[in-house]
Chain A
């Protein structure tokens, strides 16, 4: 299965990309995905980031599905 992951703000800077396609062997949670693929390039631990799946905020235990649009982002700071 594959998921599209979007990055914004300094997550995009650290990934050097606004979006990346990831192929996963099987179902995993957002936290498992983060630990496997993103903790290294992003450089800050899980708790430093917010996650959305298909444009809804989710916790780390949310399950990923084929075709999901995931965003991994810093705390929001609009206003």
Chain B
């Protein structure tokens, strides 16, 4: 089963791995992105994620379709969580199953890279000192 989701709910990796199950798969690769406690050396307490929901869902589905064409993968999961997330929270999951590990690693790597390049989601850093700022906002 393939799963493509933008969600406000907790990401449960074990549920995602179940979606990948396939008797023809000899490998599963799971990438999890988590909220880090600093950005460019400045202490952070978490992130707020803004999203263009319909386009983001269409884009992750498209990325999944590309991965299926380019790599020999069986199933794909791409889930991105949005809203306010404290340090340590899983914000994004990209998981694939494939017959062999090379394809699984390559597809998972390409998947998260493409999510970061083109899915319309934006981070706002909640700094430890209580202030906040969008990434890339130079003003």
Residues of chain A having any CB pair with chain B under 8 Å: 6, 8-10, 12-14, 43-44, 52, 55, 57, 71, 73-79
Contacts and interface: CB of A to CB of B under 8 A. Distances in A.
B127 interface: no
A78 B49 contact: yes
Contact of B136 (A13, A55, A75, A78): A75
A79 B92 contact: yes
A76 B54 contact: no
28 contacts: A8-B50, A9-B50, A9-B134, A9-B137, A10-B137, A43-B139, A52-B55, A55-B55, A57-B118, A74-B134, A74-B137, A75-B136, A76-B116, A76-B119, A76-B122, A77-B116, A77-B122, A77-B123, A78-B49, A78-B80, A78-B115, A78-B116, A78-B120, A78-B121, A78-B122, A79-B112, A79-B116, A79-B123
Nearest to B120: A76
Interface of B: 33, 49-52, 54-56, 58, 80, 91-92, 112, 115-124, 134-139
A79 B92 CA distance: 6
Contacts of A13: 134
A13 B124 CA distance: 12
B82 to A, nearest CB: 9
A76 B117 contact: yes
A52 B92 CA distance: 23
Contacts of B123: 77-79
Nearest to B91: A79
B112 A74 contact: no
Contacts of B91: 79
Given A8-B50, A8-B51, A74 B80 contact: no
